[in-house]
Structure 1
C-alpha cells in the first residue's frame, strides 16, 4: 500500500480512532503487544525478591533493628534502622488491592479511550512508581515505596492488565479463549523474567555501602518503559464489523451461552450472571492463591526429612538439612510457576473447544477431587503424587484468570467486555484476602491444637474443596443474559457515508501492507513475537533448571 493511500486523521494521536487497523493489518501483531505490557507488570508477583535486601538496606550485611519503643510513624520515616519484612509486605498488598480497584474504576473509560491511551498511562504509572520507589529506597523512606510501587504502580497494574482484553477478543472472535490466554499468560510469566533479572542487577550494583536495590529499580523502570510503550503503540482495534478471513461464526454462535448482542457495563453488573461469575472467580482464585502462597512451607512441613531421604519431621531437622529441603522447595515453587503460566494458555485455549461453562465445571469438579486427595497423597508419602496434584491445581488457578474474559464476552458481548472484566476483577481482591487468611490462620490453629506439622494442612484442604463445591453451584446457575439487558445499536452508516479505510500503520507512520494474510506470520510478526518470546523462554529455562532439583 502506497503512502498516497494513507488517509490522515484529525483525531488526536492517543484516541481510539487512530488505532483502527487497515484492511490488511496482521492480527498476530496484537498478542505480542499485549504480552509486552503483561510481562512487565507481572513483575508484581516477583517483588518478594527485594524484601531480604531491603530489610538490611542500612546495615548492609545484617539488619539494624529499630528501637523496641519506636512508634509505627517514626519507623516509617526513620533513616538509621532497617525496615521489617512485614512493613515491606504492605507493598504487595497494595499492588493487588489497587489492581482490582483501578480496573473496576477505569474499565469504562478504557473502552472509550482505547487500548493505546490506557497502555501508555499504565506504562507511566508502573514505571513512574518504580522511579518514586527508587528515590524512597535511596532516602530510606518506606512511605515512598508504598506510594510509588504500591499505589501508583497498582493503578498501572490495573490498567495494564485489562487494556488488551477487549482488543484481543475483537481480533480473535474465533479463538477468544486462546487470545486472552496468550496475554494473561504474560502476567504470570512476568516474575519469571523480572525476579532473576533483578537478582543479577542487585548483585551487579551491590557495594560495601549499598545493597543495589534502588539502582535495580531504575534500570527495571527504563527497560519496562521501553517495552510497555512499544506494546501500547502496537495496539490496534479492528474496524466495525471486521471478521477473520474464512470465519463464518458458526463455531461460536451456535453455543447456547454465546450471545450476538452487547450489554452495557451499567446493565451487566446488575445481572445475576455477573455476580455468579464474580463468585465463581473468587472461589476458584481463593483456593488456588492460598496454596500458591504457602507452597514452599507446605512441601517442607508436610514431608520434612523425607525430601532428602530421612524419616524425620521438619522440627527435628538441623539447620543444614532445612537448607537442603528449602532448595528443593524453591524448585517446587518454580515448577508451580510454570504450571501457572502454562495453565493460563492451555485451559483458555481448551475452553474454545468445550465452552467456558464446561471449563469452569472442570476447574471446580476436578479441583474438588484433587484438594480432597492432597492429605491422602501426603499420608502415603508420595511426593510425586503430591507435587502432581498441586501442579494441576495451580494450572487451573491460572486458567481461571485467562478464561474469565472470554466467558464474559460470551455472555455480555465484546463491546464493553474490557470494562466488565475490570469490574469483575474485584473478585481477585476479595480472594487475595480470603485464600491466604484461610490457609494461614487455619494452619496456625491446627498447630496450636497440637496437630503435627505434617498434618496441619489437612483440614484446610477439605475446606478449600468445599469452596470449589460452592463454585459448582454458581457455575451451574449461569444462564444466558435476558434480552432486556441488550444495548440498542445505532444503525450502521451507508456505504457512501462510511469513512475510507486507513492503511495498516506502525505507530502512525504509514507502512507497506504485510505480505501475509490476516492469519499469517510475516517478518514483522516474527520480530514482535521474538521480542517477547526470547525473554520468556530464558526465564522458563532458568525456572526449569531450579525445578530439576525437586525431581532429583
Structure 2
C-alpha cells in the first residue's frame, strides 16, 4: 500500500527536482528501511520493524518505482511501451534475485542470530543502497527539444496521442484519469485472484484423490507452478507493453480484458475436467497480461497527458494498485471461505473466485472502451503543437 501512496504523494516533487535526487532519496529510504527494520528485529520491537521496513522502505519503493518512468518516456518517445516495459520488468524481476538471496543469507546467519533475520536485513539494505547508486549517478534527462534522429510523431492511433501536456493537478480532474484508475484497479484485482490462490488452487484441484494415487500435484510442484507464473508475470511486462507500441494502448488493454474474461471463466471448467496442462497454460497467459497491465499504463498516460508530469500522474494512478492490493485478497478470501463453508472442495471451491474476477474484468473493459481524447481545457495554457492529436 505504501508504494502507491508514496508514489502519489511524491510524484510532483520528483518532477520538480528531477530523477537523480528522487532516486537518491529512494535509495536512502529503501536501504535505510532495511537497516532500521533490522534494529527492530534485534530489539524485538515490532513497531520499529513496521516503521523501517514497512513505512520508510515502502516510501523508498514507491519513489524508486516511478523515478525511471518519465525519464525513459522522454528518451524514447518512439518506443514508450518498450522503455517502460523494460523498467517495470526490472522491478518485477528483482524478486527473482532478492528472494533466494534472502533465503541464502538467513541460512548463512542462522547461527549468529535468531533465524538470521537481523543480519540479513543489514546485508540486503547495504547491497540495495550501493547498487541503487548506479542509477542515481548515471541517469540523465534529455533536453526539452530532444528527439531521436529521424523521429516523427506517429499519426497512428492519433485520436488518443497528444504532443501537448496536462499537469498532474489537471489530470486528476479529467474523466480519462479516473477511467484508467478503474482499468488498473480491475487488472490488478483480477491478477491477484490468480496469484493469491495459485499454490493451494492447483494442489486442491489436481490432488491425488482427483487424479489418482501418486498423480496429484505436490507441494513442490505447486511451488514450481508459482515460480512459472512469476516468470510469465515478468515476461508479460515487456512483451505486452512492447506490443502496445504497435497495437495502441487502448487496443492492448481491450485484449487484456476481452481475452482475460474468457480465460478466467474457463479456469473452473479446466479444473473440473482435470486438464492440468491447459490449466497451467491459461494461468500463465492470464498472469502475463496482469504483468503487462502494469507496464503499459505509463505509456497510456503519456499518450493522453503528454510527458510534462507523467511521473507524477503515474504516481497518483498507482493508488489503484494499493486499493487492489487490499481489495483483491479480501474478495478471494471471502468467496473461498464461503465456498468451503458450503462443503465445496477442489475446483468447485474456487469457481466463484474466477467468475467474480471475470466480472471485475468486464468493469475494466467498459472503462477502457470509454477512454477518449483529453479536452482542450485541461492542457497547459499556451501549449499548442501543430501535430498534436486528440484535441
Q: What is the Cα-based RMSD across aligned positions, in Å?
A: 1.8
Find the partner of 1:124 among 28, 42, 50.
Answer: 28
Find the partner of 1:448 among 341, 348, 365.
Answer: 341
Q: Tell me the residue number matched to 1:180.
A: 84
Residue 256 of structure 1 aligns to a residue whose secondary structure is: helix
Q: Tell me the residue number matched to 2:203.
A: 300
Q: Tell me the residue number matched to 2:259.
A: 366
Residue 163 of structure 1 aligns to a residue whose secondary structure is: helix
* Change over 3 Å in CA distance of 1:429–1:236 after alignment to 2: same
Distance 2:99 2:357 in 1: 29
Q: Tell me the residue number matched to 1:316.
A: none
Find the partner of 1:133 among 17, 37, 52.
Answer: 37
What aligned pairs does 1:379-394 form with structure 2 within 5 A after superposition? 379-394=272-287
Find the partner of 1:328 among 202, 221, 231.
Answer: 221
Q: Tell me the residue number matched to 1:339.
A: 232
Q: Tell me the residue number matched to 2:142.
A: 238
* Change over 3 Å in CA distance of 1:345–1:490 after alignment to 2: closer
Deviation at 1:308, TM superposition (A): 7.6
Distance 2:364 2:149 in 1: 38
Structure 2: where are the runs of 5+ without partners?
386-391
Residue 115 of structure 2 aligns to a residue whose secondary structure is: coil
What aligned pairs does 1:44-443 form with structure 2 within 5 A after superposition? 97-207=1-111, 210-250=114-154, 255-305=158-208, 309-310=212-213, 325-443=218-336
Deviation at 1:304, TM superposition (A): 1.3
Deviation at 1:270, TM superposition (A): 0.7
The count of corresponding residues between Structure 1 and Structure 2 is 385
Distance 1:183 1:193 in 2: 16
Distance 2:78 2:382 in 1: 22
Deviation at 1:208, TM superposition (A): 7.0
Residue 206 of structure 2 aligns to a residue whose secondary structure is: helix
Deviation at 1:210, TM superposition (A): 2.8
Deviation at 1:453, TM superposition (A): 3.2
Deviation at 1:290, TM superposition (A): 2.1
Q: Tell me the residue number matched to 2:389.
A: none
Deviation at 1:311, TM superposition (A): 7.8
* Change over 3 Å in CA distance of 1:490–1:431 after alignment to 2: closer
What aligned pairs does 1:475-486 form with structure 2 within 5 A after superposition? 475-486=368-379
8 Å CA contact 1:409–1:417 kept in 2: the answer is yes
What aligned pairs does 1:497-508 form with structure 2 within 5 A after superposition? none
Distance 2:209 2:341 in 1: 24
Structure 2 length normalisation: TM-score?
0.95
Instruction: Point out 4+ residue stretches in structure 1 off by more than 6 angstroms.
Output: none
Distance 2:83 2:107 in 1: 37
8 Å CA contact 1:126–1:157 kept in 2: the answer is yes
Residues 127-167 of structure 1: CA deviation (Å, up to 9, x unaligned):
00000011111111111111101000010011001001100
Distance 2:327 2:233 in 1: 20
8 Å CA contact 2:2–2:62 kept in 1: the answer is yes
Residue 161 of structure 1 aligns to a residue whose secondary structure is: helix
Structure 1 length normalisation: TM-score?
0.68
Distance 1:111 1:263 in 2: 13
Distance 1:213 1:462 in 2: 40
* Change over 3 Å in CA distance of 1:223–1:311 after alignment to 2: closer
Q: Which has the larger radius of gyration?
A: 1
Structure 1: where are the runs of 5+ without partners?
1-96, 313-320, 493-552
